[in-house]
């Protein structure tokens, strides 16, 4: 049954107004820039879809997009299983629960630029603890300002350190919501620990894990501050992810048109992947 209540609009309007100002208006501004050329002084020339074409054909964009997908793929493939394993090994009852939860939440409470700065100092050769230990104690040549591979390892470890907790906390929330009876029934049915995980814990964690993966996908796909502070996109362009590249085009070169077109393409990709993933994961939940 559907009932229509015109008064409902009065409650929805303030939200619409807010959303319009913090989302729709800025996006429309970007759309405006993406189809025009400007030389300042509010003088605009119509460009049509030229900027979009230029971005989509640009090798620089392809490279940045490739790096972006590689980065997101790597952190997801590490953070999700690691988060689930940590959540499974956390205590479900007793005095250690709050201790574990606080420890897990700590990295997420640190501002992003501080995380970048911390890891920058931490990994500097000679000065930083990790840089010093690797170079002078273990004897591996490690310098993320010179070596692209070292830079990649560092941004991946940094992201894993910063965000695995999110997966842990969500997976843990899914785990503690499983009633004891399920474990008892599994014991009586003679299920092995693997089967308990496969048929009880994993299905019960599915919803929260879907959310966790979605959040981690969107956040990592749009990541800017931490790699910017840590590597600045270098050495060379080796860690120039999409958002870093975008800022370079928009604010470094002041090419507002191409930057606007790139933003919209970037946004469309994020939206499309999120939608695809969510649809696939929730497909067989209905009747």
Name 100's Cβ contacts closer than 8 Å, sequence gap at least 6.
Answer: 90, 91
Q: In angstroms, what is the minimal distance from the CB of 277 to other proteins?
A: 19
**Residue appearing with tokens 């910017």:** 228
Q: In angstroms, what is the minimal distance from the CB of 211 to other proteins?
A: 18
Measured CA to CA, the distance from residue 116 to residue 203 in angstroms comes to 36
Select 4 or 284, whichever has its Cβ closest to other proteins: 284
Select 173 or 218, whichever has its Cβ closest to other proteins: 173
Select 62 or 187, whichever has its Cβ closest to other proteins: 187
Select 59 or 284, whichever has its Cβ closest to other proteins: 284
Name 232's Cβ contacts closer than 8 Å, sequence gap at least 6.
Answer: 244
Q: In angstroms, what is the minimal distance from the CB of 186 to other proteins?
A: 8
Q: In angstroms, what is the minimal distance from the CB of 180 to other proteins?
A: 9
Q: Do 166 and 212 contact (CB within 8 A), yes or no?
A: yes
Cβ atoms within 10 Å of 37's Cβ, excluding its own? 16
Q: In angstroms, what is the minimal distance from the CB of 47 to other proteins?
A: 52
Residues that bind other proteins (CB under 8 A): 179, 181-182, 184-185, 187-192, 195, 199-200, 203-204, 284, 287
Burial of 132 (0-12, 13-18, 19+ CB in 10 A): middle
Select 40 or 179, whichever has its Cβ closest to other proteins: 179
Select 63 or 88, whichever has its Cβ closest to other proteins: 88
HSE-CB at 136 with a 13 A cutoff on CA atoms is 11
Q: Which two tokens stand for residue 258?
A: 């191409």
Q: In angstroms, what is the minimal distance from the CB of 218 to other proteins?
A: 27
Select 101 or 178, whichever has its Cβ closest to other proteins: 178
Q: In angstroms, what is the minimal distance from the CB of 172 to other proteins?
A: 20
Burial of 10 (0-12, 13-18, 19+ CB in 10 A): exposed
What does DSSP assign to residue 110? S
What values do phi and psi take at 46, rounded to 5? -65, 130
Q: Do 242 and 68 contact (CB within 8 A), yes or no?
A: yes
């Amino acid at each position: 049954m559907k009932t229509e209540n015109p008064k409902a609009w009065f409650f929805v309007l303030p939200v619409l107004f807010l959303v319009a100002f913090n989302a729709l208006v800025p996006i429309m501004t970007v759309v405006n820039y993406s189809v025009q050329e400007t030389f300042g002084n509010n003088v605009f020339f119509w460009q049509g879809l030229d900027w979009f074409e230029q971005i989509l054909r640009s090798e620089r964009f392809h490279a940045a997009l490739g790096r972006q997908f590689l980065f997101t793929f790597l952190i997801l493939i590490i953070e999700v299983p690691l988060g689930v394993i940590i959540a499974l090994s956390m205590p479900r009852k007793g005095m250690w629960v709050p201790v574990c939860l606080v420890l897990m939440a700590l990295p997420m409470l640190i501002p992003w630029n501080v995380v970048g700065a911390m890891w920058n100092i931490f990994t500097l050769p000679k000065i930083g603890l990790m840089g010093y230990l690797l170079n002078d104690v273990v004897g591996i040549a490690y310098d993320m300002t010179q070596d692209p591979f070292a830079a990649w390892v560092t941004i991946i470890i940094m992201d894993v350190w910063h965000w695995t907790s999110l997966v842990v906390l969500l997976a843990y929330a899914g785990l503690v919501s499983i009633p004891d009876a399920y474990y008892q029934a599994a014991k009586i049915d003679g299920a092995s620990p693997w089967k308990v995980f496969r048929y009880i814990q994993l299905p019960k964690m599915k919803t929260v894990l879907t959310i966790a993966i979605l959040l981690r996908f969107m956040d990592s796909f749009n990541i800017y501050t931490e790699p910017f502070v840590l590597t600045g996109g270098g050495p060379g362009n080796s860690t120039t992810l999409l958002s870093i590249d975008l800022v370079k085009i928009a604010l470094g070169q002041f090419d507002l048109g191409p930057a606007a077109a790139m933003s919209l393409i970037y946004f469309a990709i994020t939206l499309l992947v999120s939608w695809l993933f969510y649809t696939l994961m929730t497909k067989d939940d209905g009747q």
